[in-house]
Amino acid sequence: MPEGDTIYRAAHRLDAALRDQPVTRFDLRVPRLATADLTGQIVHEVAPRGKHLLMRIGEYTLHSHLRMDGAWFIYRPGEKWRHPAFKVRAIVGTAEHEAVGVDIAEVKLVPTRNEGELVDYLGPDPLAEDWDRDEAIRRLSADTREIHVALLDQRNVAGFGNEYAAELLFLRGIRPETPTPDVDVAALIDLGVRTIRANRDRMDRTFTGDARRGFTDWVYGRAGRSCRRCGTPIRKGELGADPTRERITFWCPNCQR
C-alpha cells in the first residue's frame, strides 16, 4: 500500500532515472490531459510530499497520487512492460529511461508556480528536510476526533496511512477510537517519525522488526488471528471522518486499553 515511505522511495528512483534529461516521450492517458505535451522540456526533479509525487518538468509539475493500487515503474526505452497497457495513466520518457505510471488514481498537470494549490494544505512531512515536529504536534493536538481518524488526516501530518495508524496505535497501546485529546500526541508523533524513517530505505516495510512475509505487522490485516504479544484475537472495525471515508481499524483488545 503506498504510504509516505513508498512515495519517498518512488520519487528518489524516478529522480535518479530522469533528472536533468530532456523529455522524449510525454503521454498522459486521462481525458482532460490527453493533449498535454512536454516533449523537449527538462526534468528538473522528482520530489515526494507526503503521499503526493511531484515531477517538475520545464515550467510545469506533473502531480500524481497513487491511492491504493497505483505505482510508477522504470523501463529502458522499448523494453516490454510487465503490465497491461490499459492500466497505464502516464508515460514520461527520456533517451535513457521511461517512467510508466500504472493504475494511478489522480493525475494533474499545473504550472509549478501553482503547485502549492495541490499540496500546501498538507501538514508537516516526517520524511522532508523541513520536518516541523512542533507544528505536527500542534495540528494533531488540536484535532478532537478519534485518534485513528486524526492521524490519517493529511492536514495534520503528511504520510501516515491506514497501516501506519493501526501499527503505531498498537505500539503505543492506544485504542483507535480514543479521543485525540486523551493521547500523548508528542510520543505518538515521535514514534511515527522513527518508524517511517526506519522504513524509508527498506523495500519491505516492517513494524515488528521482522521483514519476512507475514511477520511485518502486529495487528494490521490480522483480524481474528492471535496477537503476537498476548495471544488475544485481533479485532477489526471501521472509523472515518464521515460514512464515505471510513477505514478498517485493527487492534488488540488486551494490549490496547
CA dihedral 168, 204, 123, 165 (to 10 degrees): -20
* Cell reading at 156: 495534520
- Sheet with strand 60-65: strands edge to edge: 43-49, 52-57, 60-65, 106-111
- C-alpha 148/C-alpha 168 separation (Å) is 10
Spell out the residues 6+ positions from residue 165 whose beta carbon is closer than 8 angstroms to its own.
148, 151, 152, 176, 247, 249
For the annotated catalytic residues, the residue numbers are: 2-3, 51, 247
Contacts 24+ apart (CB under 8 A), 148-153: 148/176, 148/177, 148/239, 148/247, 148/249, 149/239, 149/240, 149/241, 150/180, 151/188, 151/192, 152/247, 153/123, 153/241
For residue 38, which phi and psi values (nearest 5 degrees)? -110, 25
DSSP annotation of 174 reads -
* Cell reading at 153: 488526516
Give residue for cell 490519517.
Answer: 152
* Cell reading at 164: 501506519
